[in-house]
Structures are given as C-alpha cells and as structure tokens.
Amino acid sequence: MKKINKVVIAGGTHGNELTGVYLAKKWMKDKEVLQRRTVDTDVIFVNPKATDIMKRYVDQDLNRSFLLKDLSNESLDNHEQKLARVLSKKIGPKGERNQNFDFVIDLHGTTSNMGVTLILDNQDPFTHALAGHLQKINPMTRIFVDADATEDAPFITSILPRGIVVEVGPIAQGVVDAHIFLETEKLVYQMLDFINEYNLGNYISNKKELDVYKKIKSIDYPRSDDGDITAMIHPALQGKDYSKLKNGEPIFLDFNGNEILYQDEEDVYPLFINEVSYYEKGIAMVLTEKMEIKI
Amino acid sequence: MKKINKVVIAGGTHGNELTGVYLAKKWMKDKEVLQRRTVDTDVIFVNPKATDIMKRYVDQDLNRSFLLKDLSNESLDNHEQKLARVLSKKIGPKGERNQNFDFVIDLHGTTSNMGVTLILDNQDPFTHALAGHLQKINPMTRIFVDADATEDAPFITSILPRGIVVEVGPIAQGVVDAHIFLETEKLVYQMLDFINEYNLGNYISNKKELDVYKKIKSIDYPRSDDGDITAMIHPALQGKDYSKLKNGEPIFLDFNGNEILYQDEEDVYPLFINEVSYYEKGIAMVLTEKMEIKI
C-alpha cells in the first residue's frame, strides 16, 4: 500500500465546535508538534467565517457539501458551496488521481455523551488498522460506521480515499472544554505516531476484527404539524449513547409527562442522542447495531 | 406586605436556552397547571425571534436591556431594545406604582455545572423567604446574590420590585434536556405553591438566615491582543462551580499545556465557570464569597 506521507487536519469544519477550532489555531502557530519522521502534516482552520458568527455554518452545512456533482457545479455559490470547492482543490482535488494529501483527520464535537468516537466513512484497510490500533490503546474508543456513506459521500473526509472523523463529547457548542481538548489532542498525536510506524513497516497486529457500531437508521423527535418537537429524549435515555436499547423501554417524554416507548428492532444501540445540530436534520438519535468487522 | 396575586413567568428570555422556551410553550397551551387559589399566573415566550434563529438574541442581550434610561429612550430601536419596552409595559411598566404583575420568574439555562441556582437581584424580604423555602425543601438549591444589582438593574426581573431568576445547568444551548426541564418545572410549581401559602398566611418559618454566594468580581480568560482566548478553564476547575478555589490552585490551562494559577483573595467560590454566553462578555467565571444573610 502507498505510504501515508502527507496528512491534513481539518479543525472547525463546523464553526461552533471549538475543540477543532482551537487545536487548529494552536497547530497553525506550531506545526512542529505534528511532524513525524515519515509524515508531513498540515492543518486547516476550515470555516473561520462560521466561527466568527459562532454558528455551525453560514449558509449550509459545510460537511454535507462535498458531493462530486455539487463540487463541479459552479452555479452553487453560497459561502459553504464555494468553500467546499476551495477545500477540495486544496486537499484533493476530490476524484483526481494525484492529490495533495494522503489522509484527512476531521475534528468535531458533539453534545451527545459519545466519549471518543471515530467515524469511518470508507472501507479502507489502512483506516481500519488505524482505528483498531486506537481502540487497542484506549478500549473506550468507539467506532461508528455510517452505513449510508458511499464512495461519493458529502463529507470533507470524502475528498480523499482515506480519512477519519473524530467526534468527542459531550461538549456544548461555543465552549472550549479542557478535558475534551486534551483528549482530542492526544488522539491526533497517537494517530500521527501510528501512521509513522505504519510507514516504517513497524506495524504488526494480530487484531483481525474491529468492534464497530453500524448505522441502521435514524429516529426523529415526535413533532407537531408545524415541525416543532413535542417531546424530548426520555431522561432514562439521555446520555446513554452506546447502551443497548430494548423493546418497551422509554425513548421520549412529552412535555406533559407522557412516556413514549421504543417498539422496534431488538438489540440496537443509540448514538448521537440529543445532538444539538441534528434537531434541524430531523434526527433525535442514530440507531446502530454492534458488530465485528474483519480487518 | 402586599399579597402576590399575579405572577408572570418569562421563558426564552435568551432564545437558545430551550428549557424556558419549551416550558413557556407547554404552559401557554395549559395555563391551568399554573393556577393556585390565590395566585393567577401568566406566561410569556419572551423572544421567539431569537429562538427562530437559535441565538441568545437578535441584536443585543435582551436581559441587559431594561435600564430605565434605555426603556425611556425611544431612539433605541433594535429588536431587543423595542422588545424590552413592550415587555416593560406588559409586565410593569417598570418604575410605575401600579403594575400588571406582582412577581416575575425568569427561566434560564447555563452550560456551567450550577445545578439549580436562584439568582436574587433585589433585597426583597418576600423573595428571600421564597428562596429560603426552596433551599429548605431542596438543600442542593444554590442562591447567588449579584452584588452589582441595584434598584435599576438591566434585567427583565428588574421590571417589578419582586422577582427571581432560575438558572439550571449544565445544559448546552439549543437542546432540551429532560432532567433539567423536569427540575425547572418542579421548581416553578414549588414556587407557586409557596406563594399561595404565603398569601393565605400559612407560611411560618423559623429560618433566620439564607446561605448565599455573593458576587465579588468576575475574571476573564487570558486573551491575545486581538481579543481571542489564549487559555481554557483548567480541567481541574471545569465543572467545579460552588467549590472553594484556593490560592495557588490551577485556574486556566493555555493551549500549550501551561497552567495558570489562581493568586488572589482566599476563600472564593467560582460560579458560571465556562458559561458559553459569557465569552463575549469577558467573563470566564464569577468569583463569590459564601455567606449567610439575615432574612
């Protein structure tokens, strides 16, 4: 396999997720800490205009703006549509054979109680090996496989064939939390160390499986005709990301105190429970199945 | 003392603090649950325009817009300045002898780990009795006295001589958290019950003191020349609202891992640690002294 010599870190892809914003600002002043013998790493503070107004985005979710058909459509000209084209050229370009980087790490925060979560958008063996290594040195590292992701995904990580999303929470938008900052920083250094060892041929693993949570589907909040939510995540489920949800257990509580029970497939594990930016996407949580994948 | 027969509840004074927004919406549909024998209660969803854009405010912080000199200045015409005049007329008017309500309860959320906090902006004996009662039935109820507040404060509660701010956290802006929703709801019902008993002459207390945290001053984050923060709340202090901060203990951690120690007055208790909306106000935390006040 081609070595991973050029890595790019994206911080602040969502303007109000400040862990990535301040890690990017830190590393832009001091790129030395990111360099490894065989790995040259660059960092991008992705959407400063969104950070200025302390919003996820200015016009539309940047991290849903990287479909090839959108990148090639010059008539799409709002802030994030234009920014996506700039970033694709800088990091990729997406879809081209010769690209500027070999691997992208995209840093995010979530209001859900998801701890350290890695999101894999692809089926790349190297990325699986990396995730397996991180899970080995920190067994609390969770891996989410978004089954919807295809080769042409709308995410910034889709620019390159290889990349990973880091999602650490719970953290409110607009704040820096030192625990989460330090956890994310450490994780990035562990990734770069691994990439270097891998390039040097020092990576040997007898790990054949990866424990992952694979998306089944997402569930929306109960809503009124005008689209407003009519219930909240049940207090017994709030913060219980990655715990098994059983048939008949309460899932929502309406504002009058009535419980709404989960009555669907067995053995599901909800993630992104009560993630703030998913209210507008119609997602109260993402249901997953726990499984092993061969690596 | 004059009876408290007309109470008004303000929800969503800050548009993205959703506990108050959804409690207001709930109660607007069902005001019956708020009525008591001697208490007629109304509820206002304060700033729907700010909620629509999921921001604290549209143009300026509404809850700093109620100074008498601003309310009487018709040339001030941004969204919150105009809204403040409308609310003053509806609830008060502020400064007039005959007012439409006797007591205002203003509902807020905070990203700080402050649990259930009552904020007193005034020196009113009735409000002190109410706070003492709530502290008695739930000893974890904290009371913050903002020493800066004068008779003419800029807060919505300043419209009336009597009022209280309810601040429950930690909660991210833009989310509804059932634990915090239910806690806040219960607290409002306890307040209304107390007001009714007080009106009926059934309130007898041998409580002579109130345990409060009184503001000394606020502290800002370390910042660069361009105003950006250069450090975050130290992980050992994050979430430690209402715990004693001692001289020499770490207070901030800069992005390169250097600790900044607290070196100032002894025996202080920080509140509003890492409150998201205070970054722009230059407040990393509010230092208080713990004291008893006579009631």
DSSP state of B24: H
ipTM confidence: 0.94
How far A57 CA lies from chain B's nearest CA (Å)? 12
Average pLDDT value for residue range B185-211: 92
Cα–Cα distance between B235 and B220 in angstroms, integer?
16
Q: What confidence tens digit (pLDDT) does each residue in A175-197 have?
A: 999 999 999 999 999 999 999 99
Amino acid B239: pLDDT = 98
Mutant choice from A176, A180, A240 vs B, greatest count of B C-beta within 10 A: A176
Tokens standing for residue A1: 């396999």
Q: What confidence tens digit (pLDDT) does each residue in A80-115 have?
A: 999 999 999 999 999 999 999 999 999 999 999 999
How far B106 CA lies from chain A's nearest CA (Å)? 19
Q: Say which of B111, B172, B178 has its CB closest to residue A233.
A: B178
Which B residues 28-67 touch A at CB under 8 Å?
30
pLDDT band (50, 70, 90) for residue B144: very high
Tokens standing for residue A8: 């790019």
Count A/B contacts: CB-CB distance under 8 Å: 88
Cα–Cα distance between B257 and A189 in angstroms, integer?
15
Amino acid B205: pLDDT = 77
Average pLDDT value for residue range B9-27: 98
Per the CB < 8 A criterion, the answer to whether B151 and B162 are in contact is no
Identity of the residue numbered B242: Y
Cα–Cα distance between B278 and A97 in angstroms, integer?
47
Identity of the residue numbered A173: Q
Of A3-12, A142-151, A201-210, give the range with the top mean pLDDT. A3-12
Q: What confidence tens digit (pLDDT) does each residue in B80-135 have?
A: 999 999 999 999 999 999 999 999 999 999 999 999 999 997 678 899 999 999 99
Amino acid B149: pLDDT = 58
Q: Are strands B259-261 and B40-45 parallel, antiparallel or unpaired?
A: unpaired
Measured between CA atoms, the residue of chain A closest to residue B174 is: A276
Amino acid B266: pLDDT = 82
Amino acid A208: pLDDT = 82
pLDDT band (50, 70, 90) for residue B147: low
The mean pLDDT value of chain B amounts to 95
Is the pTM for the entire model greater than 0.90? yes
Q: What confidence tens digit (pLDDT) does each residue in B160-192 have?
A: 999 999 999 999 999 999 999 999 999 999 999
How far B86 CA lies from chain A's nearest CA (Å)? 26
Residue B74 in contact with partner chain A when CB distance is under 8 A:
no
Residues of B in contact with A253 (CB under 8 A): 178
Q: A265 or B291, which is more confident? A: B291
Amino acid B294: pLDDT = 84
Q: Say which of A175, A178, A232 has its CB closest to residue B111.
A: A175
Measured between CA atoms, the residue of chain A closest to residue B23 is: A255
Which B residues 247-276 touch A at CB under 8 Å?
253, 255-256, 274, 276
How far B290 CA lies from chain A's nearest CA (Å)? 26
How far A24 CA lies from chain B's nearest CA (Å)? 11
pLDDT at A147 over 70: no
Amino acid B143: pLDDT = 97
The mean pLDDT value of chain A amounts to 95
pLDDT band (50, 70, 90) for residue A265: confident
Amino acid A293: pLDDT = 87
Amino acid A34: pLDDT = 98
Residues of B in contact with A178 (CB under 8 A): 232-235, 238, 253
Amino acid A125: pLDDT = 87
Tokens standing for residue A94: 């997406």
Q: What confidence tens digit (pLDDT) does each residue in A217-253 have?
A: 999 999 999 999 999 999 999 999 999 999 999 999 9
Percent of chain B surpassing pLDDT 70: 97
Q: Say which of B177, B229, B238 has its CB closest to residue A177.
A: B238
* Three-state SS at B50: helix
Cα–Cα distance between A72 and B18 in angstroms, integer?
39
- 3-state SS of chain A? CCCCCEEEEEECCCCCCHHHHHHHHHHHHCHHHHCECCEEEEEEECCHHHHHCCCCCCCCCHHHCCCHHHHCCCCCCCHHHHHHHHHHHHHCCCCCCCCCCCEEEEEEECCCCCEEEEEECCCCHHHHHHHHHHHHHCCCCEEEECCCCCCCCCCHHHHCCCEEEEEEECCCCCCCCHHHHHHHHHHHHHHHHHHHHHHCCCCCCCCCEEEEEEEEEEECCCECCCCCECEEECCCCCCCCCCCECCCCEEEEECCCCEEECCCCCCEEEECCCCHHHCCCCCCEEEEEEEEEEC
Largest separation between any pair of C-alpha atoms in chain B:
61
Contact B26 A175 (CB under 8 A): no
The pair phi, psi for residue B24, each rounded to 5°, is -60, -45
DSSP B186-244: HHHHHHHHHHHHHHTT-------EEEEEEEEEEEPPPB-TTS-B-EEE-TTTTT-TTSP
